[in-house]
């Protein structure tokens, strides 16, 4: 493995240093696909999308060895939408209103995924300052057979299911400090994170956007499992309130297949009564010769906040639950390039309008189906 | 020629691969000039502009050899405005309203020019998925002596002339799939492209933004010619309708000079009657010793949609046509750095208000003139 | 020192050049901190901020040797906010309204700091075209012990003090041309710059945003001093008018300490009477062994435009002046990585509401205090 040595940039405020040298890596993913969606009661649509297998991105990162087991590092990584040539929003203050719909044609590239500076020692672990994934999201990635991407992900329930919560604080957090345990703990690992909404004090919403969370797990050769929790404060209103996300999950590699299990519970403390939704998912990766793998997952959403709902005529309404079955195949053309196809069928009950597509919602209680065929290239 | 090997980034969804390695190229153009414009009946202005010789840009691209004549690749390239430190808009849905005026101070960098992933074989050609130039634009670049940049370009008629069509779908298209023929076809080459506006079905404008096109040509040692067509669907209204752009052009290198010819026809199917504008351009590059070239072009616009126009008093009105004569010199200080100067004079007739500057329009029927002196640097 | 050779990108308009090769450097700064502010009469707030020691940024730059003492170069550099994953605004037309508040979640990366192309000879100096720092800002950086960053900077008075002037034209200018003297002038150095607001002619505000300035100085082994002036035209209204910034400053390295002195005068020619504010600052860097330095600065603001102000009851009002004392320590863990801490206390008089934090202003006449603890990493 070779590294790239780039001429170091001396900050304006610093004396130049002739021997200074940096190791910065340019990296990224370009993943584009052709998608076809059917939204029950609405119709079909065929689109060109991206990120069906891995989120498209561009980034820069590096690590500097400081000697004595100490190191400093940075990571700057931003999402891109290569199907349309744009970047993606970042929520700078963790507020509910932080991530508005992008104005068409204007969403510039930003380091919305990861942007931090860090210090680490092999004995004590790592400290990161900046913008980063929240604790629960790591489990949403690692313990979902579809890695939180594309039509088959459990996130079709976990994230989109809670429409009153701001997307970005379900995935990343701004103004954060996180601590990561060192790697030599006999298989145990963990991290904890706090962040602030940076509101002015003295108002009812001054703590909005403050969050805290942790993730702890154990990994062995064939086994990995973790529990995680993230909680963000929002002063309760009719549409938003304290947002709590907890999950537990794991993987077990049996050789002929790698099995996945993930359980998410999301609660939003609205002023008019909390919304709580639980999602359970099981699935597997089944290797196909040496060049591919079948991916399959079944997810069930249990909306716990709808138990007392009635129809307009007073009859008991069916629970707003949903189920999703997804199957796909990934064909590795090389370590960097893969072709993939995923089919996902989502069945809504009651008034649920979950969708596999992210934005083409069916009518209430109707089904959603989607197919993605794409190319993912790493650099 | 040396290549840059960068440490490969493993996607979050992928197992790490110790031997993974990528070849990514950082590239770009910084082209800034001093411009002076005269808009007839309005006045003069002197500005600092950019992209007079080549569009300023920054990008990353790479190709991976997959063996057996197969390869995968990616290309991410975005426009910049180095005179003001900004990026440029991208039209994410190919809609007429997709590219609004940028909010002052806020237009971020994006990969608005090119962002695709591709698969290719030497025998079958290349398949690209993403955001890319539309077929007709390649001829607008290659067969215009001013390469679709600066005050002398034929695009002062072809693009700006059709004010009812959205700029970005005249140059690039989002949500596209394109096929490119392999290079070994005895001089013949071609590509075809389709794209979608991704509107929801079931409405009158559900097909708006869908487009299709092709480009086919033949190139030999001294000769190159091609025909191209791009058609974008917009449900006809008073200000927009199906947008069709076709062109044919070529170059012939006679040694003492390289000659250019380009014919564009643009039609917009408005609800109140189609607008059709034809532009013919001829020109040449004349080498000056080994370090420079004179560029000259003469373009004529024939507005076919104005034949029946009358003045307010009932008399026949002069056709809204226009002509443009441009001459320039490019001095190569190296393969990467060039100085350039271009002078362009545009004569409007009737009610035409075409301009060499892109934004300083003269009064109806008045002339427009512009001079650019600049530096173009490639990296 | 090693350089990175990247495969050169041939512009679309240029014939490919097999031997073309470029030297482009990827560089940047990631500086994130934990900040605590106290705004008198308002309250305290703890935040995660960035740029306390050096402005966080990402950039690309390079120089091409053209032979005969001549060279061409480019510099593209944009600010980032790694605490929130965003970029920063750029003022594209030097207008008062050019830099609005960023829409939450939407501020994309742009080359808002520096984006220029340049030509230079060792004998004649350098010519730059593009977007760059204005002359006075170089002295604001070099002659402030806190290098115009963080809670201790004199800029808490110089920049924020003149609330009617647009931030971006106090630091950078768009549409600019600048000339830099060659380095071999026996210690003398200088630069001059002009820029344009690019407004249409024939209106009262057609010259708004036009600016001009220069910087001239002398540097020896232990000594550096310079005088600078920048003036931007704005047609006088109640809230904006001609903006003039002049400063003089220097540093003297006595070995046991490096001393700093800086005097700024800022004038805004409002329609209702000019505002003039003078800031004097002295300070020092005191080396601590070989790995750190103490930074200390004392700054005094004299608001000259308030001399005739009266309170509502007719009594003479106290002058709206302010003072700031800042002390900090920078610990170099390597040439690239530093830890820093800065404490700054700002005392307002009269109706002044200056703040050390940039956005948490105290009540009129109350104090502002701030502490920053952070990490700065260069790459």
- Residue where the block lists tokens 């411009």: B35
Confidence (pLDDT) at C96: 67
Distance from CA of A1 to the nearest CA of C (A): 17
Query: Residue C218 and residue C230: Cα distance in Å, rounded?
Result: 19
Query: Residue B344 and residue B320: Cα distance in Å, rounded?
Result: 19
Instruction: Please indicate if any CB of chain C lies within 8 Å of the CB of B293.
Output: no
- Residue where the block lists tokens 């970042």: A90
Confidence (pLDDT) at A166: 53
Please give the residue that has the higher pLDDT: either A320 or B169.
A320
pLDDT digits (tens, 9 = 90+) for C56-87: 999 999 999 999 999 999 999 999 999 988 88
Please give the DSSP secondary-structure letter assigned to residue B316: B
Per residue, what are the HEC states of B168-181?
HHHHEEEEEEEEEC
What Rg, from alpha-carbon coordinates, does chain C have? 22
Question: How does residue C106 score in pLDDT terms, banded at 50, 70 and 90?
Answer: low
Torsion, Cα A353 A355 A361 A366, to 10 degrees, reads: -50
Of C341, C342, C261, which Cα lies nearest the Cα of C300? C261
* Interstrand relation of C322-332 and C337-348 (parallel, antiparallel or unpaired): antiparallel
Distance from CA of A311 to the nearest CA of B (A): 28
Among C4, C91, C108, the residue with its CB nearest the CB of B108 is C108
C151 close to C97: Cβ distance less than 8 angstroms: no
Q: Is the pLDDT of residue B7 over 70?
A: no
pLDDT digits (tens, 9 = 90+) for B273-297: 888 889 999 999 999 988 999 999 9
Per residue, what are the HEC states of chain A?
CCCCEEECCCCCCCCCCCCCEEECEEEEEEEEEEEEEEECCCEEEEEEEECCCCCCEEEEEEEEEEECCEEEEEEEEEEEECCCCEECCCCCCCCCCCCCCCCCCCCCCCCCCEEEEEEEECCCEEEEEEEEECHHHHHHHHCCCCCCCCCCCCHHHHCCCCCCCCCHHHHEEEEEEEEECCCCCCCEEEEEEEECCCCCCCCCCCCCCCEEEEEEEEECCCEEEEEEEEEECCCCCCCCCEEEEEEEEEEEECCCCEEEEEEEEEEEECCCCCEEEEEEEEEEEEEECCCEEEEEEEEEEEEHHHCCCECCCCCECCCCCEEEEEEEEEEECCCCEEEEEEEEEEEECCCCCCCCCCCCCCCCCCCEEEEEEEEEEEC
Instruction: Please indicate if any CB of chain A lies within 8 Å of the CB of B98.
Output: yes
Q: Answer whether residue A7 is part of any domain.
A: no
Residues 120 to 159 of A: which have CB under 8 A from any B CB? 141, 147, 149
Q: Answer whether residue A281 is part of any domain.
A: yes
Distance from CA of A28 to the nearest CA of C (A): 15
Q: ipTM score here? A: 0.88
- Residue where the block lists tokens 């493995």: A1
Confidence (pLDDT) at A200: 80
Confidence (pLDDT) at A105: 54
Q: Answer whether residue A44 is part of any domain.
A: yes
- Bridge partners (DSSP) of residue A152 are none
Please give the DSSP secondary-structure letter assigned to residue C167: T
Confidence (pLDDT) at C238: 81
- Residue where the block lists tokens 């940024």: C57
Distances (CA, A) of A97 to A87, A209, C237: 19, 10, 35
Which range is least confidently modeled, C165-169, C265-269, C301-305, C353-357?
Answer: C165-169
- Looking at chain A, the whole-number percentage of residues with pLDDT higher than 90 is 63
Mean pLDDT, chain B, rounded, equals 86
For residue A45, list chain B residues with Cβ-Cβ distance below 8 A: 198, 200-201
Query: Residue C239 and residue C233: Cα distance in Å, rounded?
Result: 13
Q: Answer whether residue A199 is part of any domain.
A: yes
Of A166, B86, A171, which Cα lies nearest the Cα of C104? A166
Please give the residue that has the higher pLDDT: either A273 or B128.
B128
Contacts of C326 (CB under 8 A, 6+ apart): C146, C151, C152, C153, C283, C295, C296, C297, C298, C299, C342, C343, C344, C345, C356
Please give the residue that has the higher pLDDT: either A118 or C290.
A118
Query: Residue B120 and residue C222: Cα distance in Å, rounded?
Result: 61
What Rg, from alpha-carbon coordinates, does chain B have? 22
Confidence (pLDDT) at B152: 96
> Token pair for residue A37?
């969606």
For residue C77, list chain B residues with Cβ-Cβ distance below 8 A: none
Confidence (pLDDT) at A256: 96
Instruction: Please indicate if any CB of chain B lies within 8 Å of the CB of A34.
Output: yes
Q: Is the pLDDT of residue C2 over 90?
A: no
| Rounded mean pLDDT, C225-237 | 93
| Rounded mean pLDDT, A327-331 | 98
- Residue where the block lists tokens 């708006």: B208
Query: Residue C286 and residue C282: Cα distance in Å, rounded?
Result: 13
Please give the DSSP secondary-structure letter assigned to residue B310: B
- Bridge partners (DSSP) of residue A262 are A249, A281
**Cβ-based neighbour number of residue B204 at 10 Å:** 8
Write down how long chain C is. Answer: 379
Largest CA distance in chain A: 80
Query: Residue A92 and residue A101: Cα distance in Å, rounded?
Result: 14
| Rounded mean pLDDT, A122-133 | 96
Confidence (pLDDT) at C324: 97
Question: How does residue A275 score in pLDDT terms, banded at 50, 70 and 90?
Answer: confident
| Rounded mean pLDDT, C125-151 | 96
Confidence (pLDDT) at A157: 87
For residue B33, list chain C residues with Cβ-Cβ distance below 8 A: 129
**What's the total number of domains in chain C?**
1
Domain hosting C359: range is: 22-378
Query: Residue A247 and residue A226: Cα distance in Å, rounded?
Result: 8
| Rounded mean pLDDT, A57-80 | 96
C20 close to B29: Cβ distance less than 8 angstroms: no
Query: Residue B172 and residue B174: Cα distance in Å, rounded?
Result: 7
Angle ∠(A240,A243,A245) on CA atoms, nearest 5: 150
pLDDT digits (tens, 9 = 90+) for B312-362: 566 655 688 999 999 999 999 999 999 999 999 999 999 899 999 877 889
Query: Residue B351 and residue B365: Cα distance in Å, rounded?
Result: 5
Confidence (pLDDT) at B89: 73
pLDDT digits (tens, 9 = 90+) for A1-30: 223 333 223 233 333 332 334 478 999 999
| Rounded mean pLDDT, C276-297 | 95
Distances (CA, A) of A175 to A74, A246, C338: 15, 21, 20
Query: Residue B246 and residue B235: Cα distance in Å, rounded?
Result: 20
Confidence (pLDDT) at A9: 30
Give the domain CATH number at C111.
2.40.160.10
For residue B66, list chain A residues with Cβ-Cβ distance below 8 A: 333-334, 337
DSSP E strands in chain B: the ranges are 5-7, 21-23, 25-39, 43-50, 57-67, 70-81, 86-87, 114-121, 125-133, 172-180, 188-195, 211-219, 223-232, 242-253, 258-269, 275-288, 292-303, 322-332, 337-348, 368-378
Confidence (pLDDT) at A316: 59
Which string of DSSP letters, residue by residue, matches B97-137?
TSSPPPPTT-------SEEEEEEEETTTEEEEEEEEE-HHH
Confidence (pLDDT) at C311: 58
| Mutate: best of B2, B5, B6, B11, partner A, most A CBs <10 A | B11
Phi, psi of C142 (to 5 degrees): -70, -30
Confidence (pLDDT) at A91: 72
A127 close to A116: Cβ distance less than 8 angstroms: no
Instruction: Please indicate if any CB of chain A lies within 8 Å of the CB of C48.
Output: yes
Question: How does residue B307 score in pLDDT terms, banded at 50, 70 and 90?
Answer: low
For residue C376, list chain A residues with Cβ-Cβ distance below 8 A: 11, 117
Interchain CB distance below 8 Å, C9 and B59: yes
> Token pair for residue C375?
């990490």
Mean pLDDT, chain A, rounded, equals 86
Query: Residue C230 and residue C137: Cα distance in Å, rounded?
Result: 9
3-class secondary-structure state, position C106: coil
| Rounded mean pLDDT, A313-317 | 62
Burial degree of C257 (CB within 10 A; 0-12, 13-18, 19+): middle
| Rounded mean pLDDT, C131-147 | 96
Confidence (pLDDT) at B366: 95
Q: Answer whether residue A2 is part of any domain.
A: no
Confidence (pLDDT) at C291: 92
Confidence (pLDDT) at C205: 86
Phi, psi of A138 (to 5 degrees): -60, -40
Instruction: Please indicate if any CB of chain B lies within 8 Å of the CB of A280.
Output: no
Distance from CA of B207 to the nearest CA of C (A): 29
Q: Answer whether residue C7 is part of any domain.
A: no
Confidence (pLDDT) at C11: 31
Interchain CB distance below 8 Å, C334 and A64: yes
| Rounded mean pLDDT, A78-82 | 94
Give the number of A-B residue pairs with CB atoms closer than 8 Å: 223
Distance from CA of C308 to the nearest CA of A (A): 34
Which range is least confidently modeled, A301-310, B306-315, C3-12, C131-140?
Answer: C3-12
Q: Is the pLDDT of residue C230 over 90?
A: yes
Instruction: Please indicate if any CB of chain C lies within 8 Å of the CB of A237.
Output: no
pLDDT digits (tens, 9 = 90+) for A136-194: 999 999 999 999 999 999 989 876 545 544 555 688 999 999 999 998 899 999 999 99
pLDDT digits (tens, 9 = 90+) for B153-209: 998 987 654 554 454 568 899 999 999 999 888 999 999 999 998 888 788 888 988
> Token pair for residue C138?
């170089």
């Amino acid at each position: 493995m070779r590294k790239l040595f780039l001429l170091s940039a001396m900050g304006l405020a610093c004396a130049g240093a002739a021997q200074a040298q940096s190791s910065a890596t340019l990296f990224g993913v370009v993943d584009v696909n052709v998608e076809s969606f059917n939204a029950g009661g609405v119709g079909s649509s065929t689109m060109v999308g991206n990120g069906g297998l891995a989120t498209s991105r561009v980034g820069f990162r590096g690590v500097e060895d400081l000697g004595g087991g100490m190191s400093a590092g940075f990571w700057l990584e931003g999402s891109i939408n290569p199907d349309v040539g744009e970047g993606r929003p970042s929520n700078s203050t963790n507020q509910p209103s932080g991530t508005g719909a992008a104005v068409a044609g204007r969403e510039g590239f930003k380091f919305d995924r990861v942007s931090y500076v860090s210090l680490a020692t092999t004995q004590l672990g790592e400290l990161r300052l900046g913008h980063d994934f929240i604790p629960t999201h790591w489990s949403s990635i690692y313990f979902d057979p579809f890695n939180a991407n594309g039509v088959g992900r459990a996130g079709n329930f976990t994230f989109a299911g809670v429409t009153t919560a701001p997307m970005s604080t379900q995935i990343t957090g701004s103004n954060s400090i996180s601590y990561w345990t060192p790697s030599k703990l006999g298989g145990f690992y963990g991290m904890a994170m706090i962040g602030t909404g940076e509101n002015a004090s003295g108002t009812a919403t001054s703590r909005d956007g403050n969050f805290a969370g942790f993730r702890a797990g154990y990994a062995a050769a064939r086994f990995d499992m973790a529990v995680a929790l993230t909680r963000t404060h929002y002063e309760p209103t009719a549409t938003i309130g304290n947002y709590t996300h907890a999950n537990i999950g794991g993987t077990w590699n049996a050789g002929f297949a790698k099995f996945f299990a993930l359980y998410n519970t999301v609660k939003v403390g609205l002023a008019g009564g909390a919304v709580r939704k639980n999602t359970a998912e099981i699935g597997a990766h089944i290797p196909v010769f040496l060049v591919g793998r079948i991916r399959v997952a079944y997810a069930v959403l249990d909306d716990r906040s709808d138990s007392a709902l009635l129809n307009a005529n007073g009859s008991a309404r069916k629970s707003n639950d949903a189920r999703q079955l997804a199957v796909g195949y990934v064909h590795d053309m090389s370590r960097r390039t893969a072709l993939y196809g995923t089919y996902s069928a989502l069945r809504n009950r009651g008034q649920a309008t979950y969708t596999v597509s992210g934005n083409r919602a069916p009518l209430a209680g109707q089904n959603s189906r989607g197919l993605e065929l794409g190319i993912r290239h790493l650099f």
